[in-house]
Amino acid sequence: MNEGDEVRERVRAAAQRVDDLAARAQREIAANRPEIAAELLTTAVREAADDTDLAGRLRMLAPPPVPAVRAGTAAGDRVAISWTPSPARTGGVSYQVVRTRQRPAGSAGDGEVIGRTDGNELADPGAPAGDDLHYTVFATRSEGVWSPGATAGPVSLLPEVTGVSTVADESSVRVTWTARADATGFTVLREPGAVPVRAGRSGFADEELEPGIEYSYLIQVGYPARSAGITVTAMPQAAPTEVPDLAVEPLPGQDPGRLRLAWTLPASGDVRLRSSAHRPRWSRGVQITNAELTAYGKEVLGRTDSAANRRAALTVPMPAGRVFVTAFSVGGGRAVVGPTVTVTNIAPVTELRARRVGPVVRLSWTWPEGVALVRVRWWPEDGSPEHAEQLDCWLRAYRDDGGLQLTTGVRAVRISVATVSRDGEGETVGTPAGLRVGGSGVPVHYKFTQAGTFRRKTRLELSADQACPLPDLVVVQSPGRVVPLRPDQGTPVARIPAQRLEPGRPVTVEVPVQSARGPYRLGCFVDDHTGDGSDVVLKGIPGGG
């Protein structure tokens, strides 16, 4: 067989296969099995791509309908439709989504066509609000030949208002929003009390409210069906007033990487601290908007501690380099600019040491490079740093005197030494070094006295020339004529609880002495359970009989 005969034989065989496939397809159509017929015709078209009749017969076979359709609202203002693909045995299937109101679509042209896709999902951004919407999906292999429709619904689109903005002043709340053009009305209820508030297309104003009360507003949109609604809250506040003062109070004896910001609360308004690498452009007392406030620097966050006399403080990490911290008073949608302090992380003093001689404490330390001024503060150990005494010490005076001498009194004190930097921006206090200096002891005098003729009573009298906290005391009794030198050298017969001892007002207690056949001695001692020592020195004459 020559080459030409082989070609003719292959063509004949191919034509025979195509004819067989077409005949089988026709039988499947007659048996109402169109999808098997479509699969056979698809194979035949691949064998005879130029046979337009076969391709036409394939296009006339509608694919099976999609098994399931789902529709629901998305992003509040559109409907999302998805479906399970048609179980067609061939490719080339596309889908058309039709929207109808109140009922499913009867055909692919019965309603508004949302779109056509080869995928299995579409979104309807132009869905009308307030109606019962049905979404029907039709499958096709060619224009005009559609599968039966599969429907989801009804879906009711009830979008809420968007872009809600709330502003409160001393006695009113103003709320604005953006609404769809097809919205027919707005309902607003104020809580507490479920009070109706009149609203327009762009918002409402609610006036004559009580300051300091938080109000909530339920906002619903009518289409004419009513949306579920959204809730916003607002609290009318008195106009904010300026924060009176702001100070930097480093924390002695703690992590040098932290500092304390302290201020006096304003008459009205909430205090916000913001830090920036540059000073605010506004002067103190100027009123600015919340947008201007949030655009300046960043907020200093932390737990605010309250103190007496309307004072408040915030402990925060020490920032690197120099920053400016400003106190703002905020309320009623406005902010008032307050004082600004400069914080610079300068090197602290090191090797701080103290030596006490009676009421005098002698300090020494190593100065950091480039620092010529320090601020020394001291206060009683049981007192508050807010009432500390303060002294500035220059490097030259320190060198001339060989250190710094403080008259602190005889009680235990805490001392902090902080480096100070002064420039054109003002004064900056660095991280302090701190220590505790024990007291030299307040002299407390005691004496035992006896009174009575038949039943003699022993009393202990305690006095001091200066006020002091008297610690717990114990009186012990020991036999013989040897005076006890420690509490464990006798039997406790009386305990005197800790109390305040004032000059000119001695404390007198009765001592129940135990019966003794021979002589005995009484001694008075500090009853030190903690081992921390005492800031008093007992001086007196032991008693006995």
Secondary structure, 3-state, 329-371: EEECCEEEEEEEEEEECCCCCEEEEEEEECCEEEEEEECCCCC
Element (H, E) at 83: strand 78-83
**Which residues on adjacent β-strands are paired with residue 185?**
222
- CA distances in angstroms from 127 to 108, 158, 177, 378, listed in the order given: 18, 10, 21, 74
Q: Please say whether the beta carbons of 459 and 451 come within 8 A.
A: yes
Q: Please say whether the beta carbons of 270 and 331 come within 8 A.
A: yes
- Which residue from 135, 131, 129, 119 is spatially nearest to 80, judged by alpha carbons? 135
The answer on pLDDT for 67 being more than 70 is yes
Q: Please say whether the beta carbons of 154 and 136 come within 8 A.
A: no
- Mean pLDDT (whole number) for 161-172: 88
d(CA 59, CA 134): 28
- CA distances in angstroms from 173 to 170, 232, 328, listed in the order given: 9, 11, 22
Residue 204 has a pLDDT of 96
What's the pLDDT band for 348 if we cut at 50, 70, 90? confident
Coil, strand or helix at 86: coil
- Mean pLDDT (whole number) for 167-188: 90
d(CA 411, CA 440): 6
- Mean pLDDT (whole number) for 470-497: 90
Which DSSP string do the residues of 168-193 spell out, in sequence order? E-SS-EEEEEE--TT--EEEEEEETT
The answer on pLDDT for 183 being more than 60 is yes
Length of the chain: 545
Ranked by mean pLDDT, which of 56-70, 278-292, 369-383, 530-544 comes out on top? Answer: 278-292
d(CA 45, CA 22): 10
What's the pLDDT band for 73 if we cut at 50, 70, 90? confident
d(CA 255, CA 242): 32
Tokens 């932290």, residue located? 258
Least confident of 124-138, 485-499, 529-543: 529-543
Higher pLDDT, 358 or 232: 232
The answer on pLDDT for 406 being more than 90 is yes
Residue 340 has a pLDDT of 94
Residues 473, 477, 483, 489, CA torsion sign: negative
- Cβ contacts of residue 232 below 8 Å, gap of 6+? 164, 166, 175, 216, 217, 219
Residue 395 has a pLDDT of 93
User: Quick one: how far is CA 93 from the chain centroid?
Assistant: 53
The answer on pLDDT for 22 being more than 80 is no
Q: What are phi and psi of 495, to 5 degrees?
A: -125, 135
For the chain, give the percent of residues with pLDDT over 70: 85
Least confident of 269-283, 312-326, 387-401: 312-326
Q: What are phi and psi of 242, to 5 degrees?
A: -65, 140
Q: Please say whether the beta carbons of 356 and 319 come within 8 A.
A: no
Ranked by mean pLDDT, which of 409-423, 476-490, 530-544 comes out on top? Answer: 476-490
Structure tokens at 62: 């509608």
For the beta sheet containing 69-74, the strands, ordered from the edge strand earlier in sequence to the opposite edge, are 69-74, 78-83, 121-124
d(CA 316, CA 319): 9
The answer on pLDDT for 100 being more than 70 is yes
Summary mean pLDDT of the chain: 84
- Give the number of C-alpha atoms closer than 13 A to the C-alpha of residue 513, restricted to the C-beta side: 25
Residue 417 has a pLDDT of 93
Element (H, E) at 297: none
The answer on pLDDT for 455 being more than 70 is no
> Is the model's pTM score more than 0.85?
no
Which value, to the nearest 10 degrees, does the dihedral of the CA atoms of residues 83, 84, 90, 96 take? Answer: -10
d(CA 73, CA 281): 48
d(CA 263, CA 341): 11
| Fold that domain 246-341 belongs to in CATH | Immunoglobulin-like (2.60.40)
89-106 residues labelled b (16+ CB within 10 A) or e (exposed): ebeebbbbbbbbeeebbe
510-524 residues labelled b (16+ CB within 10 A) or e (exposed): ebebeeeeeebbbbb
- Cβ contacts of residue 361 below 8 Å, gap of 6+? 354, 355, 378, 405, 406, 407, 408, 413, 415, 437
Q: Which CATH number fits domain 162-234: 3.40.190.10, 3.40.50.300, 3.10.420.10, 2.60.40.10?
A: 2.60.40.10
The answer on pLDDT for 14 being more than 60 is no
d(CA 424, CA 205): 48
**Which residues on adjacent β-strands are paired with residue 445?**
463, 539
CATH for the stretch 69-156: 2.60.40.10
- Cβ contacts of residue 512 below 8 Å, gap of 6+? 493, 494
Residue 146 has a pLDDT of 86
**Which residues on adjacent β-strands are paired with residue 518?**
none
Q: Please say whether the beta carbons of 92 and 42 come within 8 A.
A: no
The answer on pLDDT for 384 being more than 60 is yes
The answer on pLDDT for 253 being more than 60 is no
For the chain, give the percent of residues with pLDDT over 90: 40
Q: Which CATH number fits domain 442-544: 3.30.750, 3.40.50, 2.60.40, 2.20.25?
A: 2.60.40
Residue 86 has a pLDDT of 87
- Mean pLDDT (whole number) for 203-223: 92
What's the pLDDT band for 170 if we cut at 50, 70, 90? confident
What's the pLDDT band for 114 if we cut at 50, 70, 90? very high
Element (H, E) at 389: strand 389-394
Q: Please say whether the beta carbons of 97 and 113 come within 8 A.
A: yes
d(CA 251, CA 260): 6
Residue 12 has a pLDDT of 65
Q: What is the DSSP letter of 56?
A: H
Which segments of 421-463 does DSSP mark as H helices, in order? none
> Which CATH superfamily hosts domain 350-437?
Immunoglobulins (2.60.40.10)
Residues 492, 470, 437, 433, CA torsion sign: positive
What's the pLDDT band for 469 if we cut at 50, 70, 90? confident
- Which residue from 33, 121, 21 is spatially nearest to 70, judged by alpha carbons? 121
